[in-house]
Amino acid sequence: MPKSREWHLVSRPHGWPKPEDFALREAEVAEPGPGRILVRNLYVSVDPYMRGRMSSRKSYAEPYALDKPMHGGAVGRVVASGAEGFAEGDHVLHQLGWREYAVLDAGSAVKVDPGLAPLSTYLGVLGMPGLTAYAGLTRVAGFKAGDAVFVSGAAGAVGSEVGQIARLKGASRVIGSAGSDEKVKLLTEEFGFDAAFNYKNGPVAEQLAEAAPDGIDVYFDNVGGEHLEAAIDAMRLHGRIAVCGMISQYNATEPTPAPRNLAQIIAKRFRMEGLLVGDHYDLQPKFVEEVSAWVRSGELKYHETKTEGIETAVDAFLGMLRGENVGKMLIELPE
């Protein structure tokens, strides 16, 4: 059997994670027993939520164990099967990423078809980030045609899809923020946002007021902090905020100030709700049907940022936290 390289968390990061918090280790690969499959991973995902799992704080998901392989989304090819319904050569989506080979229960894998869409898209535009965007906008934020929508982190895997779905479903105006002038250009010229701004170029509240002079009905929050405060200022009566992430605070070592203007929730009667994609998997069939059609037609565009080789996974993860990716950040594992 081949050997596998896998990433272990060896110390819990304080503030920004550092390369020395991780170790790439070699492991033996076992034959899959009854009901199990052996998968050669082809694409491995790194996502913002993984930063929270590196902490020992109690949260919605179990923390990563120290000196054990980390996990997350991956797509790979079955190389050996002890499970009915899975054959060598099948492609599957599963949650044992951060490694080259994975042995897992067949019940925790989902077959994917590379003929319908590229394998990498099952980790991005048609995967967990895509469903997050779809459920967060349509269900949690209660989007309706005519709404003006503001998305922070809009050039990332989730944000870019939120803005495009809003546009395709009839938003009156779609505004995005991003961390570079190149990303701002991408939002307006390729993804079809009506307006976008670089949050590093000035106060978010001022730039948002200029981009959305008549206010907003929906804010999809990936960033928190100054962005959330600005969105509350711009919120119209009975607006909705879907809180997907607060990446600006993930590496803070001290408590961060809450929005100083939260009292506006009373006068404006806006609704603010947290979003975890795990609550919305009942929407998966509808999401895949609707969004895959837009992807095939070219109406919904997506970007991927890829590094090559399992040894690049930590650098890719840290780069994603710094905003160096456009669209979904992935590690490609050549066979």
103 pLDDT band (50/70/90 cuts)? very high
pLDDT, position 247 = 78
pLDDT bracket for residue 176 (50, 70, 90)? very high
pLDDT band at 128 (very low <50, low <70, confident <90, very high): very high
How confident is the model at residue 263, as a pLDDT? 95
The per-residue pLDDT for 253 is: 66
Which DSSP helix (H) or strand (E) runs through 102? strand 101-105
Cα gap 121→128, rounded to integer Å: 10
User: Is residue 202 very low, low, confident or very high in pLDDT (cuts 50, 70, 90)?
Assistant: very high
Round to whole Å and give the CA distance between 204 and 233.
11
For each of the domains in the chain, give its residue range(s) and CATH number, in order of start: 3-124+303-332 (3.90.180.10), 128-278 (3.40.50.720)
Mean pLDDT across the stretch 113-140? 94
pTM listed for this prediction: 0.88
State the pLDDT at residue 180. 95
What mean pLDDT value characterizes the chain?
94
What are the tens digits of pLDDT across the range 204-259?
Answer: 999 999 999 999 999 999 999 999 999 999 999 999 999 998 877 767 667 777 79
Q: What are the pLDDT digits (tens) for 314-328?
A: 999 999 999 899 889
> Which range among 64-78, 201-215, 286-300 shows the weakest confidence by mean pLDDT?
286-300
What mean pLDDT do residues 272-298 have? 92
Q: What is the CA radius of gyration of the chain?
A: 20
Region 181-210: mean pLDDT is 97
CB 160 within 8 A of CB 172: no
Buried b (16+ CB within 10 A) or exposed e, 294-308: bbeeeebbbbbbebe
- Stretch 40-60: mean pLDDT: 91
Rounded distance, CA 193 to CA 253, Å?
Answer: 34
- pLDDT classification of 117: cutoffs 50, 70, 90: confident
Residue 187 and residue 124: Cα distance in Å, rounded?
A: 17
Q: Residues 249-277: what's their mean pLDDT?
A: 87
Mean pLDDT value across residues 173-198 = 97
